[in-house]
Chains A and B, each alone.
Chain A
């Protein structure tokens, strides 16, 4: 693995390997001193063309726990705001001597382009509506820790704004690759125009499948979508697809509730539901640091075993 741009870059064996490594690093993060010297002397830069506190912090924490040096570029604080081209920016950054570039961009494929211009390893931290592979890895790790290494047969519904979601694109692929059966649920205007190439089916009736689900994965509903005539109102969305207390009551007792965050409590998920024991949302965040350590280690590590 030279870059991590898409879940498509990972076969089943590589997925398992990364998740195993993620488990090991999860142990590391729970130590008194949650730090290993694996990437001492390596430099990881985060290049974020789109605001993201959570993902950026998660990557920086992961890099620091591997003893890598970190740098951050963000919009507004750099030449990005002065109109420098993407290519010029990444080549400038690389000239400073970096080993990995973590790219978040509002446009699909920006990390793929960056990877064609630099020798450093490129990690996609979210590109437009396309992919968010480390989110998929942390979701898979979270699910695996609850269900064991094989997700075979797990019935997962991803619910919400699938069409505009990079999380859905990556996570559906990772879950399916690990053996889960993935169903996409949502208003017709929020389901992709074509499902060819998606390892998933779709349902127009969430209530019909609720009682059979092993996992319900809720996506953030973005308020601005209302303006795009995609649905009439947040209230109507919640009525039809929100995980209300009433709907949550119809899930199996052991159905896991997942959400990539940040949540709109009261829209796609009721505040009370997010706090129930079935909700693994904060675990997802913790697992995020571990899988990002795994990715950085795989891309930059010398191959030494984790101490």
Chain B
């Protein structure tokens, strides 16, 4: 019988509401919730909020292929430090997740890591956008999210077939990187005032909106769920809001950098601010926040994209797109959304936990925190202030755009399947 853990003195917050109680964990499950519980080991949660473990629908773990930037082990550790108990690994590895053997290897490495690692599968072979990947075989391994992320499925015909096909796989969702390639070719930042001033070729907002509009129509035609990855523009938010009002099976996520940074940051020419879709205008940031506040956007997902230091030392136009997110997402949501009153704490946790858990079909995750449930918990200290230091990140990469920014709130303890993998902000393995 493994040691039991009691999480003491915190305020529990889940889909059922809030109450101040202790949580007793025995083995991988929650054994009891109540006052005065006793366990072999105590984790102090006074002044803290105990929530279901956070769930990130969108991480790049780089293994296989670019282990110099991140591995499943280091990415999972970064996730746990960020309060996440489950993450979904995007398929743009080398080789990509278009092969059951690759997905099986990723999932196998995931079982040895400190949080639950799920794998998204490719929509098309080699993410080339032409022929369907073996979605059924990948589904049999547990894949529920299919995406060519990093590449948009540009062909309406291929997207339609993918949706029709995925419709035969219960719980499957097709996730689109909505940026029309023909409108973005050669582009490296948001097209607008700053791209014009800086002479950096742009990626226009309409490239996102055009694909979102089209795929809403295809979701309506096929009845298959479509999830929009990293929504970044006001026009896309508006289209998704309308589609949801019409009852279409649409969900959407937003990345922290799209509600905390604007394209003006690119004026430094530092490629740490280069990401696809790009940092947008201040109006877009406002619209993303509004979409998070009114439920149009269902989840905060990091699009954690590690890159080796030397690749981000190239000039802006030659550096790869992407930025780290796992270790800063919770703090950014608390600092930029909860503190200014854009969303409530409960809604922020919903965006980071139970709503993404539902999208990914992760029934063990997202709570509620009650006896018999899997013990995936995040204990948040909502008042601690800190500042991201690239040198101290658990990620193998260093490309955080938030160096030196003052943030409020952080995961203090993270418990995954009953194991305290992060205690007082320190990874335990």
- A interface residues, Cβ below 8 angstroms from B: 85-87, 105-110, 112-113, 127-131, 166, 169, 192-198
Contacts and interface: CB of A to CB of B under 8 A. Distances in A.
B270 interface: yes
8 smallest CB-CB distances across A and B, nearest first, come from A109-B269, A130-B199, A129-B199, A107-B315, A196-B193, A107-B317, A110-B315, A194-B196
A-side interface mostly: loop
Contacts of B191: 193-194
Interface stretch (B24-32, B112-120, B200-208, B381-389): B200-208
- Contact residues on B (Cβ < 8 Å of other chain), bracket: 20 to 34
A86 B315 contact: yes
24 contacts: A85-B314, A86-B314, A87-B310, A87-B313, A106-B317, A107-B315, A107-B317, A108-B199, A108-B315, A108-B317, A109-B198, A109-B316, A109-B317, A112-B269, A113-B270, A128-B317, A130-B199, A169-B197, A194-B191, A195-B196, A196-B196, A196-B197, A197-B193, A198-B197
Interface string B258-271: 00000000001110
**Which one of B195, B268, B316, B318 has the highest number of Cβ atoms from chain A below 10 Å of its Cβ?**
B316
B320 to A, nearest CB: 13
B192 interface: yes
Interface in B329-361: none
B370 to A, nearest CB: 53
A197 B313 contact: no
B210 to A, nearest CB: 16
A300 B87 CA distance: 54
B196 A113 contact: no
A130 B200 contact: yes
Nearest to B193: A196
A85 B309 CA distance: 11
Contact of A193 (B196, B313, B316, B318): B196
**Which one of B195, B197, B202, B268 has the highest number of Cβ atoms from chain A below 10 Å of its Cβ?**
B197
A166 B200 CA distance: 10
Given A108-B200, A166-B199, A197-B197, A85 B315 contact: no
Given A193-B195, A196-B193, A109 B313 contact: no
A120 B84 CA distance: 45
A193 B204 contact: yes
A169 B199 contact: yes
Nearest to B315: A107
Contacts of B204: 193
A198 B196 CA distance: 8
Given A113-B316, A129-B201, A131-B199, 17 more contacts: A86-B315, A87-B313, A106-B317, A107-B317, A108-B316, A109-B269, A128-B200, A128-B315, A130-B198, A130-B199, A193-B192, A194-B191, A196-B192, A196-B196, A197-B194, A197-B197, A198-B197
Contacts of A109: 198, 200, 269, 315-317
Given A113-B270, A193-B202, A85 B196 contact: no
**Which one of B192, B202, B315, B317 has the highest number of Cβ atoms from chain A below 10 Å of its Cβ?**
B315
B185 to A, nearest CB: 9
A113 B195 contact: no
A196 to B, nearest CB: 4
A108 B270 contact: no
B427 to A, nearest CB: 31
Contacts of B269: 108-110, 112-113
**Which one of A85, A194, A195 has the highest number of Cβ atoms from chain B below 10 Å of its Cβ?**
A194
A54 B318 CA distance: 25
Contacts of B192: 193-194, 196
B399 to A, nearest CB: 14
B234 to A, nearest CB: 16
**Which one of A127, A128, A130 has the highest number of Cβ atoms from chain B below 10 Å of its Cβ?**
A128
B313 to A, nearest CB: 4
A177 to B, nearest CB: 15
Interface string B25-64: 0000000000000000000000000000000000000000
A2 B410 CA distance: 41
A228 to B, nearest CB: 9
A113 B315 contact: yes
Contacts of B313: 85-87, 113
Interface string B171-212: 000000000000000000001111111111110100000000
Contacts of A166: 199
Contacts of A127: 199
